[in-house]
Amino acid sequence: MGLNDSSPGAMRNGRGLTDQWAESVVVRPRTTERHITVHKRLVLGFALSIITLIIVTAVAVALSLRFDDCGGQDRSGGRGETGSRGSGGSGRLNGSRGERTGERGDEEVVQPWKNSRLPGSVRPRHYDLRLAVYMDNFTFSGEVSMELECVNATRFIVLHTDRLEVDRVSVTAESAGGRPANRPGGGVMRIHRHFPYPANQMYVVVLHRELKPMRVYRLNMSFDAAIEDELLGFFRSSYTLQREKRYLAVTQFSPIHARKAFPCFDEPIYKATFSLSLRHDQQYTSLSNMPVESSSPADEDGWVTNRFARTPRMSTYYLAWAVCNFTYRETQTSGGVTIRLYARPDAIASGAGDYALHITKRLLGFYEDYFKVQYSLPKLDLLAVPKHPYAAMENWGLSVFVEQKILLDAEVSSSSYQMELTMVVVHEICHQWFGDLVTPVWWEDVWLKEGFAHFFEYVGTDFLFPKWNMEKQRFLTDVLHEVMLLDGLSSSHPISQEVEQATDIDRVFDWIAYKKGAALIRMLANVMGQTLFQKGLNDYLLSHMYSNAARDDLWSKLTQAMHSEGRDIDIGEMMDRWTLQMGYPVVTISKNQSEQLPTHYITVTQEHFLYGEEVRNNVSLQWQVPLTVAVGNASTVCMESLLWINNRTETHKIGQMDDSTWLLGNINQTGYFRVNYDLQNWKLLIQQLHSNPQIISVGNRAGLIDDAFNLARAGYLPQGIPLQLIGYLPEETSFLPWHAASRALYQLDKLLDRTDDYRLFSDYVLKQVASRYHQIGWPTNGPGTEGNILKASYQTEELQRELIMLACSFGNKQCHRQAVAYISDWISSNKNRIPPNIRDIVYCTGVSLMDEDVWEFIWMKFHSTSAVSEKKILLEALTCSDNTFLLNRLLNLSLTSDLVPEQDVIDVIIHVGRNPQGRNLAWKYFRDKWDILNARYGEALFMNSKLIGGVTEFLNTERELNELKEFIQSSGVGAGPALPRALEIVEGNVRWHRLHRRHFYQWLRKPPSSTFG
């Protein structure tokens, strides 16, 4: 969108800004001469007054020019300066410090629009927003009328706009009844000037006189803008129905993009109510947060206007609307809430949305019962769109999902796909309470909503499918183990971190906020107990509903819940250590070796866990660690004890122990920390796993595997310990330990897959996998088994899938033959008989082993299928080829054509990089196309960090490290913390090769009877 000339003296209507400001300068008036004389004294006086006038005028002009250079603009003049888009700030509602001015000339000193946060001198109470949407040329026009309350006297109204062409602006004073004040001009306030300040995405209205505190005013603005093609603000998308391309337009306002669609106070704390009307061509349907209150019939142009009911108080980024020609299915809860799922007509007709609609109805009831707070709106729409920057967005009453996260085709979708879809829906429905109803005060505490929603993904899914056992099992591998990888880096950050600028806001939306937030909430729930935890959450929601809250508000309510049962624990004191410090501890437990103490004492130490051995110099970080400890031997495990570890080293009394007794810490992995032991205890635990693994719980078996591999990678343990530990896996019958091992082995695989001795490693893995793989076999796909994913044994199916994936990935010949046979049968019969749960493994294996014709066949199927889940795995399979020509072709097609959906481009590049044959290719392609990729995805949360991390995480040579350093030096601007994190990970990969690879391979060369460690 073009900007007008921003030069200080820009002219319109024949008048420059400098003239206007020159007029406001007070100068000494000239005295009328009654008698004209040539007296020397009078001539001198007259000359001095002329000189004084010239000097004062020059000073005034200079000040005016300086003010204009700072970004002012008279609406009758030219635009202010252009600047980078963005806004941010610290975490409190600002006051209007320094705004009360006695002289109008003080404006050039105050300039509240220069701050990154809104000044807080006025706040919105209600928005009346009217939009006309032109889908033929992708533009829209609007009028917004804002009811404002003045908090502190000010002449400035500062709010947000971005890329909007503001046309008319007016301000009126309102009486107590909300009508214009009874005074000449109907309460109209005289506007001195109004202008945009693009550097902070702000718009400024300067009044001739001050707004008065406790008074209500109305700000009216009209504007025009484009319906963008970049997935933020009010953007457009398209799909094909019966070979006809159709368009829709939808909003994505989180975190700071409502300002792209209408002028507003676009910070979370400025909650207000909204009344929206949408005018558009009658062939489209329009949706918003609330139901349609009234609708005008089509006019002579074939346009309709829908007026939506007034919303509750909410933040701007939860307002939403859409204009589309979708159809829907609906259901209703027992409480009368109408739930609709809107999607492409063909998707609705096929029933692809029925599953999500069904579970949403159950989830509303679950959350109402769990939180003891009713859902607040009369309806909830789920909108499935073809293109969206994120998996979903929890707009209140109108949640938007990308199609592949909500549409389910039971005939072709795997159980893992169904699980992922389920958890996305569970997450977004949770946000209707944590986020929509109670909103974090500021972005530094975004984990208050995202951490809770991520935690409840597992709790809510357990409600829907108890046999999946998500919170006690999959949470460990998919959340706890995952985020500890990131949080063990020195480039990590506290979960609550200061947010000052717009770029900082993007930074806080990462896996630390989501996954660490969820892990800490789970730890806290286990410390408190289920009943008190729910009581505290209920009090928190009831106290802050329709308002904002900070972490201390949550701690206060949870502490009150504890005290109500006589438990004297200060939750805030405990949790501040976990939320305001980065990282987590490694807790080392050892039997006390002192002769002065009996054998039932243990020594416990804590230190900050870091992967980089050379950066372990921060001895100041300590946590309040709720450590559960159990003692056991070959046949039994004794009752666990809860120990609070507050100091660096402590001694605690535990049950009676002897030389054959082992210690086990962090029972069921409810705590957010790693556990290490003395080498003798590791030996006893490994012996226990080999002789009778069932003595140790499935969660702790998975935890021991993950801790051992990561402690060894960080240098806390010898490299042989985790390898010897997984030697028990042939006896393991549960999915979770296999999954934990698979994740750890996958990391090692990417470190080693280009080394000369790689076969030593792959053969060792296959040796562990072989017996269980052959025993469990491949799934059958006979008549009646398709679409039966709800009824199948989830744990058995997932174990089978995990073993097949390990066998095929590491080169089991029988696994390869089976995959090739399935692909060959599909090609020859044109009937896909591959069981849905393993299709991704078979597709990838077939593409990697077979010729170019198979790649072309998969490419053709990718374009012809309409099932979104099938499209996803077909596209990923194309990245598995060993043919670099085909990989390069795919990379180029993904970025330069419409053949690959825009949100899938990043996944293509990442998956090519995970292929050993494509790693260099993807790395080079990423660097060559960085400017294009950054321009396209730079503003979308997660996108850049996901891309940077995915492409770089498996680089591990000195050459690749130097290339990364050069890239950061030349192109690192705008990537936030992702590049420093990538650099630390690659440095760690290179360091592991230098320090540990030789010892790792040495252990693998030893015979099985080799000594420990």
| Six-digit token string for 602 | 């243990």
**Spatial distance between the Cα atoms of 481 and 706, rounded to a whole number of angstroms:** 7
Angle at 82 between CA 81 and CA 83, to 5 degrees: 120
User: Per the structure block, which two tokens stand in for 8?
Assistant: 């200080």
Tokens matching residue 352? 């692809």
Q: What is the dihedral of CA 477, 478, 482, 487, to 10 degrees?
A: -110
Cα angle 958, 932, 263; round to 5: 125
Q: Which residues of 21-42 are buried (b: 16+ CB within 10 A; e: fewer)?
A: bbeeeeeeeeeeeeeeeeeeee
Return the H-helix or E-strand segment holding 399.
strand 398-402
Q: Which DSSP helix (H) or strand (E) runs through 401?
A: strand 398-402
Name the catalytic one among 99, 107, 267, 428.
428
Strands (E), 559-682: 585-591, 601-608, 625-632, 641-645, 649-653, 662-665, 674-677
Residue 5 has which token pair?
Answer: 């000339």
Q: Please state, in angstroms and as integers, the Cα–Cα distance from residue 277 to each residue in 283, 305, 310, 554, 803, following that order.
A: 17, 7, 10, 36, 55
Rounded to a whole number of angstroms, the distance between the first and last alpha carbons of the chain is 65
C-alpha span between 218 and 222 (Å, rounded): 13
DSSP string, 874-927: HHHHHTT-S-HHHHHHHHHHHHHSSSS-GGGHHHHHHHHHHSTTTHHHHHHHHH
Which tokens sit at 616? 């372990």
Backbone angles phi, psi at 439, to 5 degrees: -110, 135
d(CA 751, CA 754): 8
Instruction: Give residue 272's identity as a one-letter amino acid code.
Output: A
Encode 167-178: b = buried (16+ Cβ within 10 Å), e = exposed.
eebebbbbeeee
Query: What six digits make up the tokens of 849?
Result: 């082993």
**Ramachandran quadrant class, 302 (left: phi over 0; alpha: psi -120 to 50; beta: rest):** left
Nearest to 590 by CA among 578, 606, 575, 576: 606
Q: Is 759 helix (H, G, I), strand (E, B) or coil?
A: helix
User: Has 798 been annotated as catalytic?
Assistant: no
Cβ-count burial 439-469 (b if 16+ within 10 Å, e if not): bbbbbbbbbbbbbbbbbbbbbbbbbbeeebb
What does each C-alpha distance from 348 to 276, 290, 687 come to in angstroms?
27, 22, 55
Give dist(CA 363, CA 908) in Å, integer: 34
Tokens representing 453 are: 């929603």
- Asked if 701 and 734 count as a contact pair (C-beta separation under 8 A), the reply is yes
| List of residues 6+ apart from 481 with CB closer than 8 A | 706, 740, 743
Q: What angle do CA 479, 482, 484 make, to 5 degrees?
A: 105
Query: Token pair of 210, please?
Result: 């001050």
Handedness of CA 603, 606, 610, 613 (dihedral sign): negative
- The β-bridge relationship of strands 398-402 and 392-393 is antiparallel
Beta strand extents in 184-343 (DSSP E only): 188-189, 191-197, 202-211, 216-226, 233-241, 244-252, 273-281, 285-288, 292-296, 303-308, 321-324, 327-332, 338-343
Residues marked active site are found at 428
